[in-house]
Structure 1
């Protein structure tokens, strides 16, 4: 799929606000007499100026051309009926639901929870706990029994010691006594986390309930978080076509480190992590839980002193040596506030946010009194607990129950909800409790649903973003169907394009070579002589390296410029090269064979050819749209726009 040109514009135009304009606003241009206003262009240009990477697009005329092309594509999408397709309507609906979640929260409550979360991730708690299991839907009698049991266990723990009682009561079925080790914020369910962080070191908490049952927790230790590490690594990747013994090579590199050679220089020369090798192997700062490799993270955080480096170790990605460059505490609050906010909204804490929002919405929609629910209590019977209860034939369904905004919910709505809810009842509880709980859930769900469905009318920011996504999604579908997919299947068009542009598709020149690297120029002079005599790598290693000193390392295979092992100025010519200073080391290269550049066949260049063909096809398509729809630029309005932007 080719997004050339389009994607940069798609990204920059994704934040357009497309509200209806008044006739008083000045028209910048029209497409078949449909107006586009100067206010919209100015808003888009100013808002997205920093996102545009191509300096030419910051030119007002060039940006206007892109903007006109964008509007032409939207016009075509609507004419072709892409906005009526089921997949488009479904994806837009799903997006609105996801987006609504970020708007359906109480900022003050969320901010308080985010600040609390920050305090908690700033520390690690070491704790043990005892749990008396209890179903969330347990009846009052079982609930009381469980509470009394955990309270009795707590009294024993206070007198006999928590650890002794923990081991004694654990049966792995109804009671669990577990060592938890160290944990921080977001690692446990919220109620448990709160109890642990609110309990002093050495103390045993009061009994508290989570969805698993009743707990007590004994806090053993509380320490500051491990925080952030800045490390570098040397990595040899595990690849199926790699014939080198990576373990031997990483240990040779490790020995050179022990001999005092520079970590960064060795990383530049040998690390196969292309994203970091040029920077001496240095990674961006990391925090716990950030990396995909737990092994790598454990080793990184195990380094204690700046300057320490690890022994070679193997992860799922290859062999590594890690060096510690910096240690920092937990990042500043503002730095990770957005990330914490997302976690809070996905966590159990979100229930507190929902509760605050529902309370506010009840006031907004004037829901003040709970209706009389005795009728629903009267129609329940024991079949409800067997999950085969249904509404009686005489059920009164048309009576109004509650009004939310301009929507009225009836007895029928709640009756059907009661039928569905019986699946969630696992224990016998009073019918009044069942009805009260069901009504609270029914009301809360419908308040949130009503609010979500009306967000576009109640929240201007939400309406703007939905409108942005609506057009972006429409444009993507248009491009995919009109340009990208059709190009991929146009084998004749691709072949004709290749035949006309063959000169653009040649392979790179490369060499079959052996590169020897050493921190000692004197030793490399000896190696150069051995290479000229035709000595093999293993033979040279045996003569130059010793059990206690790795003086030479090799990189071999087919290499092309640029390559981290090759000096930039090396000439591709068979034979042994001069000695070069390269990456804070010395290298000499024996070039066994020069593999010249050659004309690529269509099969070999298929990806590049297809991409270029799509780009040309899109260019021609835009020209056709300009011919299909009449675009009129208001030159006076454009002058005003240029004056305003140039004066900013």
Structure 2
């Protein structure tokens, strides 16, 4: 369902409805007398022209069909009241808040933190640390005790050696002495990262506090980041319940021997790799950096290859057996390339607190917020019940008095009092009432400033408004399609089976062969194999005759294959017996077809997934015709002709 959701949002983005269209624009068409303007259509068409993969949609007429269908669906969704559903409004509000975070920020502070992050991502630090654990909300006495202990441990480490003290004090409960290995930016909490990167190699840091407690860090080494690797691989996986298939650990060794004999890695990957995504490209994978590959063993092998062109020995991961070839070593990308990713990371990291502080100061200036108002009245009505979370407002509470104004919104004493009441449920550390009221007011002011900015962001920022409009329509369209079309597999089971019966000819298994494929770079050797296969000699015997212990000339694949199978030459004739020798994927191939399996009708259960998909497309097309009858679409042909003539120019 997530895929459908993404496709719906893409469609909404592709043909989004822009706000603020002028009534002076020519009307291109109407949906139930509701106008759609030329400028809207052209803006969307031209903006998304390069994004469309289907050339037919670049045709004005075809694109207009797509656009009118989209408008018809939105009309129906609103007619059904889907835009008033509480779940829809809740989801939209959640998205707006999330999106607003990208627009409500202090760009100068963000930029500085992003540049700092890039510098740190360009290096790796190897460090050990000692931690005296203490709770963030610990009492002053416990905090002082932890600080005193970390000071003593630092003195010991300076005199006795960090490693000795680290190993001795670790108990895994209140004291931790850990080897951290190499790490880069964003791998540790920001305070820890700061100290690690700012401490010289060989030095022990001064004590510092994070949310975990008090630390000291011993920096052992700093080095430039290892960057990215681009590799190719040949992967073989276990094929359960497949008695015809060779064991992957045996076959991978055969392939490796072929490599050591000088055969092409790319050619062998095309012929034998079970990674169907990379095999057609010679096994080549997208570039990756440290930590991006789920299999650590694979990453270690890739980064340990020293020169471009080096090939690893066979090794195993949880995904299967691999051989890896190093194609390219790439250093850390440029700042401009990494900037978008770093911006997102900074906003999710502890660094965001610095951004928040700068933002609040910026909003205070924007809305002319002065010094903290007189809060003595609230101090006077607070009592110890607040620490018990049972505090309530006095009967004579004065709530109407003005407290502060943000933009055009006036906040009163009552607004702040409600905030005090609601936040007392949070465990509040005992402190003087003056401190509690002041801290609560600052939190109240921060939330109120951000909420006011969020509420007015659509009117202040056109880019934000357009993105919200896209999501609003996309979410609406998703709900409509889910309820009308996609859930049909649950409610229309009888109709789906009837659809299958009417269209059975579309659902079949293609013609296949049960075959053995022999591959070699030596045509002469394959001629020998061809003769042996013709004599119906067992495969193990043929292998022993053409492959020695230290040399693999021929690799065999036994399987049931259709015409698209990677081992078969293009346009291979499905005919029982031993084939001629073909040139295929830079090698020679001979095939022994043991059995030809004819084209076969699929049962309903075998074809169910495809049947449901086809049924949904059929139902959607029928439903669109009903919508066209319900909401009449009238196209202004003169305006459409004018658009076409200008596009040709």
TM-score (normalizing by structure 2):
0.92
Say whether the 8 Å CA contact 1:9–1:66 is kept in structure 2.
no
1:382 and 1:622, CA in 2 relative to 1: closer, same or farther beyond 3 A? closer
Deviation at 1:59, TM superposition (A): 1.3
* 1:309-458 pair list within 5 angstroms: 309-381=311-383, 384-385=386-387, 387-391=388-392, 393-394=394-395, 396=397, 398=399, 399-418=401-420, 421=423, 425=427, 428-458=430-460
Check if 1:526 corresponds to 2:528.
yes
The one-character-per-residue Cα deviations of 1:386-418 (angstroms, maximum 9, x if unpaired) are x44423645736144333334444444444544
Alpha-carbon distance between aligned partners in 2 of 1:361 and 1:546, rounded to the nearest angstrom: 78
Alpha-carbon distance in 2 for matches of 1:420, 1:156: 48
For the Cα contact (< 8 Å) 1:12–1:51, is it kept in 2? no
2:468 match: 466
What CA distance in whole angstroms lies between the structure 2 residues aligned with 1:267 and 1:418? 66
Change (3 A) 1:445 1:144: farther
For 1:269-348, list aligned pairs within 5 A: 269-348=271-350
What does residue 91 of structure 2 align with?
91
Unpaired runs of 5+ residues, structure 1, are: none
**Given the superposition, is the C-alpha separation of residues 113 and 241 from structure 1 closer, same or farther in structure 2, using an over 3 Å criterion?**
farther
Moved over 6 A (4+): 1-4
Q: Secondary structure at the match of 1:51?
A: coil
Structure 2 residue aligned with 1:570: 572
CA distance, structure 2, for counterparts of residue 53 and residue 540 of structure 1: 49
1:119 aligns with 2:119: yes
> Deviation per CA, 1:589-643, whole angstroms, max 9, x where unpaired?
1111000113334443333333333323322322222222222222333334334
CA positional deviation for 1:99:
1.6
- The change in CA–CA distance for 1:158 and 1:10 in structure 2 (over 3 A counts) is closer
Describe the SS at the equivalent of 1:166.
helix
Unaligned 5+ segments in structure 2 are none
Distance 1:79 1:635 in 2: 27
1:478-536 deviations in Å (ceiling 9; x for gaps)? 22222332366434543444444343333210001111222222222222222111112
CA distance 1:563–1:148, change in 2 (3 Å): same
Matching residue of 1:56: 56
Q: Tell me what 1:77 maps to.
A: 77
Alignment-derived partner of residue 220 in structure 1: 220
Matched, 1:630 2:628: no
Contact 2:150 2:207 in 1 (8 A): yes
Shift in Å at residue 134 of structure 1? Answer: 2.9
| Counterpart among 240, 246, 255 of residue 257 in structure 2 | 255
Out of 564, 568, 579, which is 2:581 matched to?
Answer: 579
For residue 605 of structure 1, give the secondary structure of its aligned residue in structure 2: helix
Q: How many Å separate the matches in 2 of 1:471 and 1:296?
A: 43
What does 1:482-521 align with in structure 2 at a 5 Å threshold?
482-486=484-488, 489-521=491-523
> Structure 2 CA distance, aligned partners of 1:273 and 1:356?
49
Partner of 2:104: 104
Distance in 2 (CA, whole Å) between partners of 1:493 and 1:338 is: 48
Q: CA deviation at 1:646?
A: 3.1
How much does 1:345 deviate? Answer: 1.2
The CA distance in 2 between the partners of 1:388 and 1:619, in whole Å, is 59
Distance change in 2, residues 1:621/1:424 (3 Å) = closer
Please state how far the C-alpha of 1:35 moved relative to its aligned partner. 1.2
Of 581, 596, 599 in structure 1, the residue corresponding to residue 598 of structure 2 is 596
Give 1:344 deviation, angstroms: 1.2
Task: Measure the CA separation in 1 of the matches of 2:8 and 2:171.
Answer: 61
Superimposed CA distance per residue, residues 297-328 of structure 1 (whole angstroms, 9 cap, x where no aligned partner): 22211222222222222222111111111111
Residues 1:613 and 2:612 are matched in the alignment: no
**Are the aligned partners of 1:131 and 1:213 in contact in 2 as well (CA < 8 Å)?**
yes
Taking only aligned residues, the RMSD between alpha carbons, in angstroms, comes to: 2.7
Q: Is the 8 A contact 1:488 1:610 kept in 2?
A: no
CA distance in 2, matches of 1:47, 1:376: 56
1:541 match:
543
User: Which deviates more from structure 2 when the two are superposed, residues 438-447 or residues 120-129?
Assistant: 438-447
Contact 1:56/1:62 (8 A) holds in 2 = yes
Retained in 2: the 8 A contact 1:137–1:426? Answer: no
Identify which range, 337-346 or 94-103, moves more after superposition. 94-103
The corresponding residue for 1:642 is 644
Indicate how the Cα distance of structure 1 residues 214 and 430 shifts in structure 2: closer, same or farther if over 3 A, else same. Answer: farther
* SS in structure 1 of the partner of residue 101 of structure 2: helix
| 165 and 415 in structure 1: CA distance in 2 versus 1, 3 angstrom threshold | farther
Which deviates more, 532-541 or 205-214? 205-214
